[in-house]
Structure 1
Amino acid sequence: MCFTRFLISPHALSGTLSTFTLTGREAHHLTHVKRLGPGDLVELIDGSGILAKAKIISINRPEVGLQIVEVSKQLNDCLPINLIIALLKADHMGWIIQKATELGVQTIYPVITQHTVVKVNPEKTDRYLVRWKKIAGQALKQCRGNFMPNIYPVISLEDALGKVPCAGAKILLWESEKKRSLFTAWKDQKNAIPVTVITGPEGGFIREEIIACKEAGFNTATMGIRTLRSETAAIGSVAALATMMTSDLEKKS
């Protein structure tokens, strides 16, 4: 039986807690949206693999008292995919964070490029991160995942290239690449994992950025004959890689 899930702070259930107090948005969601009450069972997740089954024992708005019934450590269900995505407008970026979380991306690097449309206020970058993590948390509950993606603050493309794991496959989606498909680009790198994918801004990459990515070991690839929106290319590539990885695992099992 599936119980409604609520997201709590990472490591909040560390130790041997027998009770827990749910507060804030999650408590409001439990009482006002789900309309649960004393005696009902729920699940708590912290985004780092901890899953707890709990029983509601009291509701004293804005707090909900829970009795911890069982706590377990879940396997990491993220896929070995890192997504470097040029910063897009707020609604598009939120959509990418949501879908990337549902698909199981392990790391997301929002980056600034020469043609990035969004004007970034350095004083507001923390707000972006808070909002993205909130979106990822809601998506994690909906898809019944166990691990949140690691979402970095906004950084430059150059800095992101320096954070990419040395091992694994590296793929740059580029509209000027006409021959090598995503599948071929990964196959050419012996289906190595993790896979790091870079997708560009609405205006595409400039020549110097393409050169920098290639020098960092990235192979260019295309998603097909049509020119895709940035958000479509990002999530389309992740979904395709997720499917190929699942197929690859089936062959090895």
Structure 2
Amino acid sequence: MTLRLFVDAPAPLATGQVLDLPPGPARHVQVRRLQPGDALTVFDGRGGEWAATVQQMGRSQVTVLVGTHDPVEREAPCAVTLAVGMPANDRMDWLVEKATELGVAEIRPLVTERSVLRLDGERAERKRQHWQAVAVAAAEQCGRTRVPMVHPVRALAGTEALPSAGAGGQGWVLSVAPGAKPASVLRSMSGPHWLLSGPEGGLTDGELARALAAGAQALSLGPRVLRAETAPLAALALLTAV
């Protein structure tokens, strides 16, 4: 399988460009033991991907020649922003990886009233960078040509935790309350969406009310209680399925 690499370049990639790969992608080439003349695929997150060829290998430097651009798009039919009360341990890593594979456009990690995982300051930023790297690796593996943005960790009770009214399209909040719409309604939905899901202990009544006031509709995933990392992926799959 041809190696695919995301190149976070300040300017768009271009056919004929001789490119020194950043340290991360360069390490991937070295680990795979590619040699001058070997083929790979690169993308910059702006759309499409490029055929490329290794030109030179050094101890820490890899130079490639950017070849033909393929304007292929493998994005979901609608953009979905996932706002999620972060599950603890390594389950947030798993959630970010699988959400990227399913086509999520943005991920907003949240601290809620019942969160087990609580992050702030430098630790929160280190985690955000780690999750962004997880999203990059998942996009490289699954064939996406765009990488979802992982936003800074915020408190659900604070400002900018949820998309502003209208900007994120239709909002949904996962709920077990009576009267919540069945998840089957998502199959006929188009346009952008945002989806709020709680942590292990779920959202409080106040947090649910906050989401509804922000324009979300309550959404039920059925009679079974799903884990904090499973529930948002189940709803995401319904929204992004082709």
State the partner residue of 2:161: 160
Q: Distance in 2 between matches of 1:130 and 1:28?
A: 18
- What SS is found at the alignment partner of 2:191? coil
Counterpart mapping for 1:159-198 below 5 A:
159-163=160-164, 165-166=166-167, 168-177=169-178, 180-184=181-185, 186=186, 191-198=189-196
CA deviations 1:9-49 (Å, max 9, x no partner) are: 144544676211124232222122x2211111111112232
Task: Say yes or no: does 1:67 pair with 2:65.
Answer: yes
Query: Could you say which residue in structure 2 is the equivalent of 1:202?
Result: 200
The Cα shift of 1:127 comes to 0.6
Structure 2 contact 15–69 (Cα < 8 Å) conserved: no
Q: Is the 8 Å Cα contact of residues 103 and 239 (structure 1) preserved in structure 2? A: yes
Q: Which amino acid aligns with 2:223?
A: I
Partner of 1:148: 147
Structure 2 CA distance for aligned equivalents of residues 124 and 60 of structure 1: 34
Contact in 2 for aligned 1:44/1:53 (Cα 8 Å) = yes
Deviations 1:31-69 (A, max 9, x none): 22x221111111111223252221112111111121222
CA distance, structure 1, for counterparts of residue 167 and residue 143 of structure 2: 31
Higher relative contact order (CA 8 A, sep 6+): 2
| TM-score when normalising by structure 2 | 0.88
Q: Secondary structure at the match of 2:101?
A: helix
In proportion to residue count, which structure has more helix? Answer: 1
Letter in 2 for 1:225: P
User: What residue is the counterpart of 1:18 in the other structure?
Assistant: 17
Q: Look up the match of 2:135.
A: 136
Residues 174-253 of structure 1 mapped to structure 2, 5 A cutoff: 174-177=175-178, 180-184=181-185, 186=186, 191-243=189-241, 246=242
Distance, in Å, in 2 between the alignment partners of 1:233 and 1:134 is: 23
What's 2:39 paired with? 41
Aligned partner letter, 1:209: E
User: 1:113-150, CA deviations, whole angstroms, 9 ceiling, x for partnerless residues?
Assistant: 11111121322221111101100010001001101112
CA distance in 2, matches of 1:236, 1:95: 14
- Cα distance in 1 for partners of 2:44, 2:105 equals 15
CA distance in 1, matches of 2:62, 2:85: 40
Identity of aligned pairs, percent?
27
Following the alignment from structure 1 to structure 2, what is the Cα–Cα distance between the partners of residues 176 and 227? 12
Instruction: Say if 1:167 and 1:67 are closer, same or farther in 2 by CA, change over 3 A.
Output: closer
Letter in 2 for 1:108: I
Determine the C-alpha separation between the residues in 1 that align with 2:11 and 2:74. Answer: 18
User: 5+ residue gaps in structure 2?
Assistant: none
Equivalent residue for 1:102?
Answer: 101
**Higher deviation after alignment, 141-150 or 165-174:** 165-174
Supply the RMSD in Å over aligned alpha carbons: 2.3
Q: Whole-Å Cα distance in 2 between the matches of residues 3 and 104 of structure 1?
A: 21
Rounded to whole Å, the distance in 1 between the matches of 2:89 and 2:7 is 25
Query: Separation in 2 of the partners of 1:163 and 1:76?
Result: 27
* Structure 1 residue 100 displacement after superposition: 0.7
Q: Shift of the alpha carbon at 1:229?
A: 0.5
Q: Structure 2: how far apart are the matches of 1:16 and 1:146?
A: 16
> What TM-score, normalized to structure 1?
0.85
